[in-house]
Amino acid sequence: MPVARSWVCRKTYVTPRRPFEKSRLDQELKLIGEFRGDPREFGEGGVWFRDLPNPPFPFFPGEYGLRNKREVWRVKFTLAKIRKAARELLTLDEKDPRRLFEGNALLRRLVRIGVLDEGKMKLDYILGLKIEDFLERRLQTQVFKLGLAKSIHHARVLIRQRHIRVRKQVVNIPSFIVRLDSQKHIDFSLRSPYGGGRPGRVKRKNAKKGQGGAGGGEDEEED
């Protein structure tokens, strides 16, 4: 008989309590991008402005190339849990065994992923962390800053198409958090056309055409 399994799905993000808070909306649009103008407007002939050759409302890309606001909320939820743990530890005595053990573990973890500097190994500095500190450590951001991609959105495409590796492992998750010791090992995959691997389909097709054209010219000369 089949065995029933219980799946435990934890929360990964929390929606805002105030859905139309202007300051928060402006901050999120700065991170994920925005359309300048009213997207409900129609173009000529009832065509959506996105389908027009020259749309009246241009799109301004975000700073970190995020897909939607859910990605922002997910990072905010992670930051909120870390700050909550730091606040609870700060209420304990400085020589408390729990504060010494869990506090040092939390600080070492944040230093290892590059969110916190080694010179700020104190719980007070955790309360000053921002969402941008975590977004800077995403693989998508690191690929763009290392010059492997032309833009932040191009970096996301390269990662999703399995062109990027961290050490020897191919990573196709744009939100992958890069550790400090792994940052210098980000490069193109050995199987990727960008990393010296097999050429892509279009390049192979063009190369085959070139070889065929060269062969035809030789035959004509022989005749």
Asked whether residue 40 carries a pLDDT value surpassing 90, the answer given is no
Q: How far apart are alpha carbons 44 and 38 in whole angstroms?
A: 15
Cα separations in angstroms, 171 against 115, 131, 174: 20, 23, 8
| Lowest-confidence region among 26-30, 42-46, 116-120, 218-222 | 42-46
CB neighbour class for 163 (10 Å; exposed up to 12, middle 13-18, buried from 19): buried
Cα–Cα nearest to 72, from 32, 112, 105: 32
Asked whether residue 145 carries a pLDDT value surpassing 90, the answer given is yes
Asked whether residue 10 carries a pLDDT value surpassing 50, the answer given is yes
Q: Is pLDDT larger for residue 63 or for residue 176?
A: 176
| Lowest-confidence region among 21-25, 138-142, 177-181, 214-218 | 214-218
Looking at the DSSP bridge assignments, the partners of residue 206 are none
pTM equals 0.78
| Lowest-confidence region among 30-39, 76-85, 190-199 | 30-39
Angle at 142 between CA 196 and CA 122, to 5 degrees: 145
Contacts of 135 (CB under 8 A, 6+ apart): 31, 64, 66, 75, 141
pLDDT tens for each residue of 92-102? 999 999 999 99
